[in-house]
């Protein structure tokens, strides 16, 4: 089980990885979304705010009305933000659940492909 602080640390790394990737920023510049992440076994929630492809903030708690909700166990959240797992595979196994439009599900996978091509 990952602690809330560990997930925040992973999110901080993810923010740097995404924001410093020029190719990703160019690809995602038309993407503005509010994301919620739910660590199902701990009940922790996290909010990420993406504006024009830039992760401008993240925090604990479920703030605002999300466009996307990602639910999984805390370890998966950490591994996902650190690029240690393939989210598509987990999604297809039902271990990661995503409430979002089909386009946003593809966008999430595209982000992973760009920042961790081997995940």
Binding site for other proteins (CB under 8 A): 30, 88-89, 91-95, 97-99, 101-103, 105-106, 109-110, 113
Distance of closest approach, residue 12 Cβ to other proteins, in angstroms: 26
- Name which of 116, 109, 37 is nearest 74 in CA terms: 37
- Residue 65 Cα to chain centre, angstroms: 16
Residue 10 or 96: the one with the smaller Cβ distance to other proteins is: 96
Distance of closest approach, residue 109 Cβ to other proteins, in angstroms: 7
Q: Are strands 97-99 and 44-51 parallel, antiparallel or unpaired?
A: unpaired
Give the Cα separation of 119 and 103 in Å (integer).
20
Distance of closest approach, residue 87 Cβ to other proteins, in angstroms: 9
Q: Write out the two tokens for 100.
A: 């979002």
Distance of closest approach, residue 20 Cβ to other proteins, in angstroms: 21
Residue 14 or 87: the one with the smaller Cβ distance to other proteins is: 87
Residue 1 or 113: the one with the smaller Cβ distance to other proteins is: 113
What Å distances lie between residue 114 and 7, 18, 27, 71, 82, CA to CA? 21, 9, 10, 22, 13
């Amino acid at each position: 089980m990952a602690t809330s602080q560990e997930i925040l640390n992973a999110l901080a790394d993810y923010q740097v990885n995404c924001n410093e990737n020029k190719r990703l920023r160019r690809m995602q510049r038309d993407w503005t979304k509010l994301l919620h992440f739910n660590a199902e076994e701990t009940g922790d929630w996290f909010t990420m705010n993406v504006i024009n492809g830039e992760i401008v903030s993240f925090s604990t708690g479920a703030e605002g009305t999300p466009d996307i909700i990602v639910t999984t166990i805390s370890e998966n959240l950490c591994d996902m933000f650190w690029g240690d797992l393939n989210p598509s595979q987990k999604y297809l196994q039902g271990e990661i659940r995503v409430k979002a439009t089909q386009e946003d599900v593809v966008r999430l996978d595209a982000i992973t492909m760009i920042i961790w091509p081997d995940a």
